[in-house]
Amino acid sequence: MKASVNSNFFVFNPKSYLYGQELLDLALAAEQLVDQDVSIFITAPYTDLGQLAEHTEQLIVTAQHLDGISPGRGMGAVLPDSLINVGVKAVFLNHAEHPMTLSQLTRALTICQEKGLISIVCADSVEEARAIAVLKPDIILCEPTELIGTGKTSGNDYIEETNKAIKELHPECLVMQAAGISSAGDVYQTILAGADGTGCTSGIVKAENPKQMLMDMVKAVKTAIQER
């Protein structure tokens, strides 16, 4: 059964910075922050996904990529069925660190739709966001590649323009804006500007107290929702 997603959400995407017990500890902290207003996604290296799914109930455990293949040939590929088997509920596609061709993305999205996986597809520009919206993913992450990890956010004009472009073509799609998010203040301003969700990597994993930063960022989502 496909996991449900609230209209507002936060994504903790530690990429390959964290694994094992340290990652699980943060996941358990995030688990306590989920409520009826905010869904929380957490990504992980492939080998940690099963452990996260086993020890959490409220988080949406998310793979950082998959390939549009079925069981059979595919040496070194990421098999969707194996992700589902260990409890994965969502997947990132077309991230700047793992770009996909249009045909690869289309096959992967078809698999997600057939198997009930939530799809989060990354778009670098307004034009790319429009093209992806036609494929009807669940979430589009609008994130200019040059801003990833810089601490510089996209700005309200970009947020408004991409939101409008996507919703015109796919009204049910949720829009995530996450470029340069490095503080709870960034999270607050991004949600206040109209994003459905946001997320963070380095701002959490490189913080002096990652657990506290995670808590502060999720709290900022909730505060912005109330004030928007």
Return the CATH number at 201: 3.20.20.70
CA angle 107-6-141, nearest 5°? 45
Whole-prediction pTM: 0.93
pLDDT of residue 158: 83
Total structural domains within the chain: 1
Q: Which residue is listed with tokens 């520009």?
A: 125
Does residue 192 lie in a domain region?
yes
Tell me which residues are annotated as active site: 95, 143
Among 202, 177, 168, 187, CA closest to 15 = 202
171 Cβ partners below 8 Å, 6+ apart? Answer: none
What is residue 119's predicted lDDT score, i.e. its pLDDT? Answer: 98
The answer to whether position 2 is within a domain reads no
What was the pLDDT predicted at 147? 46
| pLDDT tens per residue across all 228 residues of the chain | 788 899 999 999 999 999 999 999 999 999 999 999 999 999 999 999 999 999 999 999 999 999 999 999 999 999 999 999 999 999 999 998 999 999 999 999 999 999 999 999 999 888 999 999 999 999 999 977 654 444 455 568 888 889 999 999 999 999 999 878 999 999 999 999 999 999 999 999 999 999 999 999 999 999 999 987
129 assigned to some structural domain: yes
User: Residue 228: its pLDDT value, please?
Assistant: 79
- Kindly state whether residue 1 falls inside one of the protein's structural domains: no
List helix spans (H) across 138-205.
156-169, 184-192, 202-205
Domain span at residue 42 reads 9-227
For residue 4, being part of any structural domain is answered with no
Answer yes or no: are the C-beta atoms of 109 and 121 closer than 8 Å: yes
